[in-house]
Chain A
Amino acid sequence: MRAETSTLRPNPFSNGGSGETLVEVENLKMHFPITEGVFIQRISGLVKAVDGVSFQIKKGETLGLVGESGCGKTTTGRCILQLEKATAGSIRFDGVDLTALDERSLREMRRNIQVIFQDPYSSLNPRMKVGEIIGEPMYVHGVEPDKKARRARVRDLLTTCGLRPEMDDRYPHEMSGGQRQRVGIARALALNPRFIICDEPVSALDVSIQAQVINLLEDLRDKFDLTYLFIAHDLSVVRHLCHRVAVMYLGKIVELADCDELYDNPQHPYTKALLSAVPVPDPEVERKRPRIIVSGEVPSPINPPSGCVFHPRCPIAVETCRRDIPELREVSPGHWAACPLV
């Protein structure tokens, strides 16, 4: 089966021929303080939303970042965008450390890094027309300063994203969820970025519309040579779209591998449980499929468990898991897992 699937899509590492690293995140930590007191605030605890995450994304590659809510996948994306000031670690884009840039050079850099948000309802300004929404980044960055040229480019982008050019005169509330998401995508493309962070871009959409947007994202990737960080909780969508996948749990990456390898041969017990929990729309397959149901729920990142953060829910945990923090290690070439038992 693996041989079959690999003929369907290009090898991520030979993609574009270069194999050059575009984004490099190293030991990223984002700890949010919890404060107490009204006048004299003191820090009473830390939410370790992201706790030592490292990965690389190559040019033209799509890296999937999956995990349940609260695992830190969105925060990781926000740190890369510099919307959060990371507590520790470095984020290099094309060799430049974003955490060390001053405001001006950062703005210059932001041109290359764009984002598509999850909720197409709250991520578009309801008082702006679609044309203004898509044109604003160009205005801010001084691309296409001429109004007429800008308008032409906006209409061009609308067409690229599968909308009609005359929709630039509409307000977001006059559009459906799927159309709004396309506007969000057009806005992300406005500055010709090289890297786009897609933060749950389809999870707010209906099933039949989801497929349309997924296909659009794929087409754009090929057309504009884009690199994606695809953040999602829907594992079947991630499998369809990504070259490599990282699984996060409670602020840490627990497994990282090539897409096919991860889905065919998961190593970490959490990945296994996550994969078996996804229902398949076929009653015969589905009813025969064994389920690994992990008990309990994701613990609080304020007070994470000792040792391996997954050990209280893990079906194969042993005594040492309680004590030792597992390292992410390479179990086979290109396949990393943070579990000493695999």
Chain B
Amino acid sequence: MPNLLEVRDLKTQFFTSSGTVRAVDGISYDVEEGETVALVGESGCGKSVSALSILRLIPNPPGRIVGGSVRFMGQNLLDLNDEGIRHVRGRQISMVFQEPMTSLNPVLTIGLQLTEMMELHLGLNNEEATRKAAEYLDMVGIADSKRRLKQYPHHLSGGMRQRVMIAMALCCEPRLIIADEPTTALDVTIQAQILEVMKDLSQRLGVALIIITHNLGVVARYADRVNVMYAGKIIERGNARDIYKNPRHPYTLGLLHSVPRMDLPRKEKLDPIDGQPPDLTKLPEGCAFRVRCRYEVEKCGVEVPHLESIGTGHLSACWQKNDLHNAAAGVSS
């Protein structure tokens, strides 16, 4: 299948008074048509910045995309002028943000916020756009959609607002939706509803999906391919089964060990990753995970490991990746 999106060696940096923050430090990944790809990592690992960089939504100053390319359907989005990127945003690539409370405009009705996009991007008249807006609200499971169109965001609950965000993301029939922590602000039962809606609609409409999350559980159910990020780099990539059953990076391994699991007998003690994520202005020499790593060897402090293949479609950026096999066997069951 052809690649819909090809990110190559993308670098985004923030120039602050305390130094240059290398938020995204040379990451490359692909998204195929209709595929669901996940970017997983902890806060500050650069997952959101990498997504915002695709749509060039990085505030400048202080931030700037300093290198790499983002090819979407053959075209490098980083070469487009402002007018050009506006035709991509919302039309071909749309976004669902984490905070449904703050990402809708509080002084405009739901209807206006939905129809505005369609009138602008698809050239529909108001009547057509309103009809379509109601259709999309039905599709994301908002009952009584005609009345809802006239309401303001504060009339809706968090879960409903996130549904509206999804309707907005879908209404111009984009090829790719980037969902940045779409369920983090929501309760578990609502989370499950929202994820089901997103997965179902993306499959039905053939839209590719990039899910950005810190929740390993969310990814397990919905993602085809998973990219694990740490300190601005992708450190492991593979299909969901490989990542969970056979993790080949100490960080992935550590993450999987450190969460209590509902499906396994209780453990006496959790096995956390020691230390804390590094300061992105002062990244250490060599591998950024080195100081927290249990499998460190001398080479780790000298040379940065690059993503290298360890099996079909499974890559890891670790010098010890081939010896992690035995350690990984203990993750599941």
Q: Which residue numbers of A lie inside 8 Å of B, CB to CB?
A: 1, 4-5, 8-9, 68-69, 176, 178-179, 206-212, 214-215, 218, 233, 235-237, 239-240, 260, 263, 273-287, 289, 291, 293-295, 297-298
Contacts and interface: CB of A to CB of B under 8 A. Distances in A.
A282 B215 contact: no
Residue among B189, B216, B240 with the highest chain A CB neighbour number at 10 A: B189
A282 B255 contact: no
A294 to B, nearest CB: 5
Contacts of B259: 207, 210-211, 236, 281
A280 B42 contact: no
Contact of A69 (B187, B221, B254): B187
Contacts of B196: 291, 293
Contact of A233 (B187, B244, B245, B266): B187
Interface size class of B (residues with CB under 8 A): 35 or more
A282 B187 contact: no
Residue among A277, A281, A293 with the highest chain B CB neighbour number at 10 A: A281
Contacts of A4: 265
B229 to A, nearest CB: 13
B101 interface: no
Interface string B268-280: 1111111011000
Contacts of A209: 272, 276
A86 B271 CA distance: 40
Nearest to B42: A206
B309 interface: no
Interface of B: 42-43, 157, 159-160, 187-193, 196, 214-221, 240-241, 244-245, 254-256, 258-263, 265-274, 276-277, 332
Contact of A283 (B220, B269, B271, B274): B220
A220 to B, nearest CB: 13
Residue among B188, B263, B271 with the highest chain A CB neighbour number at 10 A: B188
Residue among A4, A176, A274, A282 with the highest chain B CB neighbour number at 10 A: A282
B220 A176 contact: no
Given A178-B276, A235-B262, A236-B261, A208 B217 contact: no
Given A207-B214, A207-B259, A235-B262, A277 B270 contact: no
Nearest to A287: B221
Contacts of B258: 207-208, 210-211
B76 to A, nearest CB: 33
Contact of B214 (A206, A239, A275): A206
Name the prevailing secondary structure of the A interface residues: helix
A215 B217 contact: no
Contacts of B43: 206
A278 B245 CA distance: 19
B241 A283 contact: yes
Contacts of B244: 281-284
Given A1-B265, A207-B214, A211-B258, 5 more contacts: A215-B272, A236-B262, A239-B260, A277-B192, A287-B220
B187 A207 contact: no
A283 B270 contact: no
A245 to B, nearest CB: 13
Given A207-B216, A211-B258, A298 B240 contact: no
Contacts of A279: 215, 217-218, 220-221
A275 B263 contact: no
10 contacts: A5-B265, A68-B189, A206-B42, A207-B42, A208-B272, A210-B272, A211-B271, A214-B260, A283-B244, A283-B245
A186 to B, nearest CB: 17
Nearest to B223: A283
Contacts of A283: 220-221, 240-241, 244-245
A240 B260 CA distance: 6
Contacts of B271: 211
B262 A280 contact: yes
Nearest to A294: B189
B11 to A, nearest CB: 24
A297 B157 contact: yes
Contacts of A276: 192
B188 A277 contact: yes
Contacts of A295: 193
A281 B260 contact: no
Contacts of A235: 188, 262
7 tightest Cβ-Cβ pairs between the two chains A and B: A279-B217, A211-B272, A211-B258, A240-B260, A281-B216, A68-B187, A206-B42
Nearest to B271: A211
Given A273-B189, A277-B191, A9 B262 contact: no
B256 to A, nearest CB: 6
B257 to A, nearest CB: 8
Contact of B332 (A69, A212, A282, A287): A282
Contacts of B267: 8, 240
A231 to B, nearest CB: 14
Contacts of B245: 282-284
Contact of B269 (A206, A207, A215, A275): A215
Contacts of A282: 220, 244-245, 261, 263, 332
A309 to B, nearest CB: 14
Residue among B42, B219, B241, B272 with the highest chain A CB neighbour number at 10 A: B272
Contact of A284 (B188, B241, B260): B241
B193 A239 contact: no
Given A211-B272, A233-B187, A298-B187, A8 B266 contact: yes
